[in-house]
Amino acid sequence: MRDKGSQAALVSGPRDCSWVRPGASGLWVAPADCWIDPHDPVERALVTHGHGDHARGGHQQVFATPETLAIMALRYGAARDTVAVRYGDTVELAGGVSATFLPAGHVLGSAQILLRYAGERVIVTGDYKRRADPTCAPFVPAACDVLITEATFGLPVFIHPPIEEEIARLLETRARNPDRCVLVGAYALGKAQRLIAELRRAGYGEAIYLHGALVQMCRLYEEQGVPLGPIALVMDTTKEALKGQIVLCPPAALNDRWARRLPDPITALASGWMRVRQRARQRNVELPLVISDHADWTELTQTIAEVDPAETWITHGREDGLLRWCELQQRPARALALAGMFDEDD
């Protein structure tokens, strides 16, 4: 929380922050001629985190945290020119703009970007959450004139339960079904590693079995100092040996032919959408696990209240709901129509 004095200093004068605005490829920082999370190849990109709808290949120059750069190198190969910015560090861009990278708590390396120009401060949260996550640094709230926030779960029906409850249900289901395996669909970047780390935190010491598409990212996490315990590959294991085990795969593989090699799997999906029954049914999920790396309704609204910006801009997700909340709180807000953002799976 900032003090009254700095707030007064921040809101004096005409502060429309119009030097940051939506453009053809995403969010554009005009004086520096650079883009934030652009979805087309551009000259200069500031990237908040490694997920595919934020980090794309083909840019000339990329500014990101060292972890995000490592993730991007794994996914797209090395970029031509990279600038690693550690949490808390500031880089000077062209045109008098500076950018500070702050932890966002979403996945390993995820950052909010604090932009400063002509005495104005704009924070782009990227994707974020406020809950503890053993695999990444926690979100750091900071003062700003404009907060550009995500709104993936921007409806009051989305309240994520404590992750301990969901992990307990997963372990109970496994224990009750010694002749089957529990197949959990989880994003390759972030969700899979967080699930493994939380299972370890709950005392689960057995090998966790992986779909091939998850292996490289798990190795990267371990190289970056996130221990995951014993992991093994499904393809190295017999069907018989997988009975009673926990298997992780990307969400798309859940109902795929690949799953036929597993012993009568119980289909689970770890996602914030699982809070809504029919969403779980749409995915043929038997065990919905409400686990998300995005802020839920409470976290989104509390973060806006805590950061207390003069204006809130809302990027992607259920912007209608969060806009309405801002209206009810008499907080100036608007929705930015950004193309190319998808949220169907988290």
Partner 1 sequence: MEAFAELLDALTYTRSRNGKLALIAAYLQRTPDPDRGWALAGLTNSLDFPAVKSAVIRQLAVERVDPVLFALSRDYVGDTAETVSLLWPAPPLPGTPPTVAEAVALLSAMTRATVYGALPALLDRLDANGRYALLKLATGAMRNGVSTRLAKIAFAQAFDVPVTDVEEYWHGQHPPYAALFDWATGRAPPPHAAGAPQFRPFMLAHPIGDTAVDLDLYAVEWKWDGIRAQIVHGDETRIYSRSGDDISHSFPELLGALDTPVVLDGELLVRGAFQGGEEGGAASFNALQQRLNRKTVSRKMLEESSAFVRLFDLLLIGDEDLRPLPWHARRARLEQFAAGLDPARFDLSAIVPATSMEALAAIRDQARDQAIEGVMLKRRDSPYLAGRPMGLWYKWKRDPLLVDCVLMYAQRGNGRRSSYYSDFTFGCWNGDPDAGAELLPVGKSYSGFTDAELKWLDHHVRTHTVNRFGPVRETDRSLVLEIAFDSIHASKRHKSGLAMRFPRIHRIRADKLPREADRIETLRALVAAEP
Residue 131 binds partner 1 (CB under 8 A): no
Q: In the window 52-111, what residues touch partner 1 (CB under 8 A)? A: none
Q: How many CA atoms lie within 13 A of 191 on its CB side?
A: 22
DSSP codes of every residue in 100-161? EEEE-SSSTT-EEEEEEETTEEEEE--S---S--TTSPPP-----SEEEEEETT-STT--PP
Which CB, 175 or 233, lies closer to partner 1?
175
Of these, 176, 201, 277, 334, which contacts partner 1 (CB under 8 A)?
A: 277
- Report the interhelical angle of 319-328 vs 297-307 (nearest 10°): 50
Given 140, 276, 335, 336, the residue binding partner 1 (CB under 8 A): 276
The site string for partner 1 over 304-323 (x = CB under 8 A, - otherwise) reads: --------------x-xx--
Give CA separation, 256 vs 158, 183, 283, in Å. Answer: 28, 12, 12
Cβ nearer to partner 1, comparing 243 with 324: 324
Nearest distance, CB of residue 318 and partner 1, angstroms: 7
Where does this chain touch partner 1 (CB under 8 A) — which range of 105-113, 142-150, 183-191, 324-332?
324-332
Q: In the numeric block, which tokens belong to residue 86?
A: 């550690």
Contact between 207 and partner 1 per CB under 8 A: no
C-alpha pair distances (Å), 124 with each of 29, 110, 149, 326: 11, 12, 6, 17
Minimum separation from the CB atom of position 22 to partner 1 (A): 16
Sheet holding 208-210, edge to edge: 231-233, 208-210, 246-249, 182-185, 266-270, 287-289
Tokens describing residue 164: 């301990």
Q: How far is residue 244's CA from residue 83's CA, in Å, rounded to a whole number?
A: 46
Residues 157-176 as x/- pattern, contact with partner 1 by CB under 8 A: x-x-----------------
Residue 287 contacts partner 1 per CB under 8 A: yes
Closest CB to partner 1 among 165 and 306?
A: 165
334 lies in the binding site for partner 1 (CB under 8 A): no
Residue of the chain from 93, 147, 285, 289 that contacts partner 1 (CB under 8 A)? 285
- Which residues here bind partner 1, judged by CB under 8 A? 155-157, 159, 275-282, 284-288, 318, 320-321, 324-325, 328
